[in-house]
Structure 1
Amino acid sequence: MTLSTRDLILQHAAQCFAAAGLAATMGEIAQAAGVSRRTLYNHFPTREAVLAALVERQSLAFLAGLRAAVAMAGDFPAFLLDCCCHVIRESPRAPLALMHVGNSAGQAATLLHFRSPPIIEAWLGFFQGPYVEGLRLGQIAPDITLPDLLAWFGRVVTSYLQVPPEALPSETLLGAEEAAAVRTQIDRFFIRALRPA
């Protein structure tokens, strides 16, 4: 399958941003993609527009993977916990998006992710059905709105992506033990707070 020019630009832009952060120039992106600067500007008026399109594409693809990997199992808080753990585990493998928060492009991508109406709408849509069912079944406190819940979900997972547990000076946890510790922390300090008192 042949990539469209726009897809080709975004593919190479991801590599440029991952390598150089926001120092990546439009000229470098055009050169990496094998297109003229004029062609690049015909598709994207600014470097920020390239990054925004890249973040949206990768975030929506990541969400599709989450949808395929994590099934709603009847308990909304447990589903949300599974989603948090999946995002924390799988995000570092993603090409850019909000995963590489250590470089300037990753930080900018994180902000774009949380401010993008199409991304927010997609995530709200993903959680909408399970959230409504959780409310109906009394699994979550009725004063917790879905937008607030999504905002906290984003804050929790982003905090783990910015400072992974193994970077903290506490006990060293590896593999399954680390994953279990993260799951326990999120459950105790976030998920349990959602349930009715």
Structure 2
Amino acid sequence: MLTRTQRIALVRNCLEWERVGVSLRVAGLILLLWAHPLNKIVVLRRDHLQRGPMGMTIMLGTRPAAVPEAIADLFWRHAQRPSNQQTTNTATQWLFPGTRAGAHLHPGTLSTRLKVLGIDAQRARNATLRDLVHDVDARSLINLLGYSPAVITQHAARTGARMSDYVDLKRGRDHRPTNG
């Protein structure tokens, strides 16, 4: 498992390694900041990124997550000009287009490419989730990231994070209101 310090160093790689394409750096940041799985990163569309008067957001779950101002320009630059825009897929709406017309990047391809930045996707995702369950309440994580309550409570239990809303999460999943 990555330490928080190692994860921050990987974030720094994504921000500072300008010799690596913007597309790969943005995908790495989505993984390292929001623990979004690769199979969900590759199916993000350009319209999942929105820029408004209050800043930029990215839709990963049921509610938009704020994109930190320090990386918003990098994300916006990528959204305006994603990689793999050959003649056959210039009009794609995928945020991470593949090399075939109309197709998104394959998760395995992304995983291999992330290694250039020193990122092992599974270790990075688990480390990010571990850190997030310590810093953000479970309900917010579920809404912002699109994870199920079971996944969030499992990661919280592994790390010993306080889960003050655990009972409500269990009740919300198992409890169905009665008509009576």
Normalised by the length of structure 1, the TM-score is: 0.25
Q: Answer 1 or 2: which has greater helix percent.
A: 1
Structure of higher RCO (CA pairs closer than 8 Å, 6+ residues apart):
2
Normalised by the length of structure 2, the TM-score is: 0.27
Q: Answer 1 or 2: which has greater strand percent.
A: 2
